[in-house]
Chain A
Amino acid sequence: MTLAMALRAYDGLVLATDSRSTGGPRQSDDTSEKFLQVNRDTGVMTYGLAVPGYVGISRLVETVKSKREELTYFRPIADAARSVFQTAYRDWLSEQEQQGREIQEELKVGFILGGYDSAANQFQISHWESPEFKERQYPDGDLLAAQWHTARFLINKLFYPEIAVAQLSELAVFLLVETAVTEPTVGGPLQLATVTLGQGFQRLHEQDIDEILQRSQRRFCQFRKILLEVLADQEVERIAYPTSALDTQ
Chain B
Amino acid sequence: MANMIIAIQTLNGIAVAVESPHVAQPEKTANIVSLNPDTVLAYHETLPLGEQMVEMVLRPQVDLDGDIFSIATQADHLFQEFVEQEKIESPIGFLFLGYTTEGVGTMLGWFHAGDQTRTTRFFPYCTSRPNPIVGYLVKKLYTPDISLIKALELTAYAMIQSKIVLTQTSIIECGRLNLAAIHPERGFFWLDKEATESIIDRNEWRDRALRIRCAELFISESE
Contact = CB atoms under 8 A, between A and B. Distances in A.
Interface stretch (A11-19, A57-65, A113-121, A156-164): A156-164
Contacts of B209: 230, 233, 236
Count class of interface residues, chain A: 35 or more
Contacts of A170: 218
Contacts of B24: none
A84 to B, nearest CB: 31
B23 interface: no
Contacts of A240: 198, 201-202, 204-205
Contact of A248 (B13, B135, B141, B215): B13
Nearest to A181: B139
A222 interface: yes
Given A156-B165, A236-B206, A240-B205, A246 B152 contact: yes
B87 interface: no
A241 B136 contact: no
B205 A236 contact: yes
Contact of B217 (A149, A150, A152, A158): A158
Contacts of B217: 158, 219, 222-223
A158 B214 contact: yes
A103 interface: no
A232 B202 CA distance: 11
Interface string B118-158: 00000000000001110110011100000011101110000
B213 A182 contact: no
Nearest to B196: A245
Contact of B165 (A152, A228, A233): A152
Contacts of A182: 132, 135-136, 139
Interface stretch (B49-57, B60-68, B186-194): B186-194
Contacts of A181: 139
Interface in A22-63: none
A245 B192 contact: yes
B164 interface: yes
Contacts of A167: 218-219
Interface string B165-200: 110000000000000010100100001101100110
Contacts of B3: none
Interface in A179-219: 181-183, 215, 219
Contact of B210 (A174, A226, A245): A226
Given A157-B210, A215-B220, A231-B153, A245 B195 contact: yes
A171 B220 CA distance: 12
Residue of A150, A182, A230, A240 with most partner-chain B CB within 10 A: A230
B198 A150 contact: no
A245 B113 CA distance: 39
A interface majority secondary structure = helix
Contacts of A239: 205
Contacts of A158: 214, 217-218
A230 B217 CA distance: 15
A176 B166 CA distance: 19
A224 B217 CA distance: 12
Contacts of B161: 153
Nearest to B13: A248
18 contacts: A150-B136, A157-B211, A158-B217, A160-B215, A167-B219, A219-B218, A222-B217, A227-B140, A231-B206, A236-B202, A236-B205, A239-B205, A240-B204, A241-B198, A245-B192, A245-B195, A246-B195, A248-B181
Q: What 10 A-B pairs are tightest by C-beta distance, nearest first? A: A245-B195, A149-B132, A240-B202, A240-B201, A167-B218, A150-B136, A236-B205, A226-B213, A246-B149, A182-B136
Interface of B: 12-13, 131-133, 135-136, 139-141, 148-150, 152-154, 161, 164-166, 181, 183, 186, 191-192, 194-195, 198-199, 201-202, 204-207, 209-211, 213-215, 217-220
Interface of A: 147, 149-150, 152-153, 156-158, 160, 163, 167, 170-171, 174, 178, 181-183, 215, 219, 222-224, 226-233, 236-237, 239-241, 243, 245-246, 248
